[in-house]
Amino acid sequence: MFGCATAAFQIEGGWNEDGKSPSVWDTTTHRTPSIIADNSTADVACDSYHKYKEDVALLKELGATHYRFSISWPRILPNGFNTYINPLGVAYYKNLIAELKANNIQPLVTIIHGDLPQVLGDLGGYYNASFPDWLRDFARVAFDEFGDDVKYWLTINEPHESCIYDGVVKAYDCAANLLRAHAKVWHLYDEEYRSKQHGKISMVLNLNWYEPETNKTDDIIAAETKMQFSWGLFGHALYHGDWPPIMKSRIGLRSKLEGYSKSRLPEFTQEEIKYIKGTNDFFAFNSYTTSIVRAIDEPEIGEPTSETDIGVYEYQRDDWIPSASPWLKVVPWGMRKLLRWFKQEYFNPELLITENGYSDSTGQLDDPIRTNYIKEYLSAIKDAMDYDGVNVIGYNTWSLLDNFEWVSGYTVKFGLVNVDFNDPNRTRTKKDSYNYYQKVCKTRCIVDECID
């Protein structure tokens, strides 16, 4: 599966059209524009709400087999709940899916990618104990309306990013709630839809490969600890049941020393552990870069943070090729190691790379670093498949289009296609990286001259 990834909030625009209600991100960008690097909004973004046929035409010319997009919850259920289903919102996605299928492109659909309806945000959002029921009810609408045409579903994009911004104490409660929500959607699909729609469903995890600074035992343990606190925060429960042991022991001990009566990490019941375990039909993940991890002395007891809970030092090397995003450096070899770790840690699952890409600040059409990034990362992926027996089933580059990149606004560009955000028509122009990836999609060949 070769494709491109996007997300509703980042490309659609039409923020208040045809019955759509505000998402939490609409509200945030309107109320506090200063938190966005260029004070921008996604009110119009790439205007894909009106220009989806142009997007599909670009995907067809690219040779993509799949297109990863997300469904806007507030466009489908403007009240947040399934008591009212917006027919115009449903029609938009039906038209998009029909256009994709007519061009032999399979939809790869994310149920929520950041744009929670504001009406649910006002009720506590991801932290509300009823959130798993809310997500299940929205998913039911999605399965009913689109499920006959969708074979790959993704429940929650990057749950880690949804949980980390309100402090570490709340983050673990949020993570537990999102695991319950994902499991509830998986069981709904498994019990009521799988036998007739024949699809698969997964959660989308994210973060980096974490490389030990040296081959000393302490650094190796530190890097593994970081892996378990990042990927394992959700992955361990999905594949092994419960939190990773290192999380339970570290957070439990530090909580006690901080004066808590019990661990800050919520405890799953045996019923919940059983309910969550095994609810990933394949392993979907977003990863862009690598970090180095060094062992350090145990952090002092004080106000808890994720950094002190993990208790390691993380950094990136100055000599790695940078991007326009401060967190993203070009480290292709880390991808092969990450894939190998997934194989060993999670019982050799089918691996679907749902996002991987490079950002610049210009959107220039001549973008050799992005082209080389894709080439080198695909080469590392191919090595992992050929030499490590890793089972990769697909790759999606982020992104098809330059788009609204959350707090970075339009200051960073990830697209294979340039979008002129100063033009009311949002003119799309293919970059050199598009032409390279087109060759890959059509020939399944990474290098210039391929020999069978």
Just list the catalytic residues: 158, 355
Q: What's the rounded Cα separation, in Å, for the pair 247 and 264? A: 11
How is residue 99 annotated by DSSP?
H
Closest CA to 143 of 65, 206, 85, 74: 85
Tokens of 317: 């090397």
Is residue 34 packed enough to be buried (19+ CB in 10 Å), middle (13-18) or exposed (0-12)?
A: exposed
In sequence order, the 6+-apart residues with CB closer than 8 A to the CB of 175 are 159, 160, 163, 233, 234
Tokens of 104: 């032999």
In sequence order, the 6+-apart residues with CB closer than 8 A to the CB of 231 are 205, 207, 285, 341, 342, 345
Q: Any idea of the CA torsion for 189, 190, 191, 193, to the nearest 10 degrees? A: 50
Q: Are 228 and 265 in contact (CB under 8 A)?
A: no
Closest CA to 142 of 102, 101, 82, 231: 82
Q: How far is C-alpha 39 from the chain's CA centre?
A: 24
Query: What amino acid is encoded at 306 in this protein?
Result: S
Strand ranges in 342-434 using DSSP code E only, listed in sequence order = 351-355, 392-398, 417-419, 428-430
Q: Are 357 and 370 in contact (CB under 8 A)?
A: yes
Q: What's the rounded Cα separation, in Å, for the pair 126 and 134? A: 10
Q: What's the rounded Cα separation, in Å, for the pair 375 and 388? A: 19
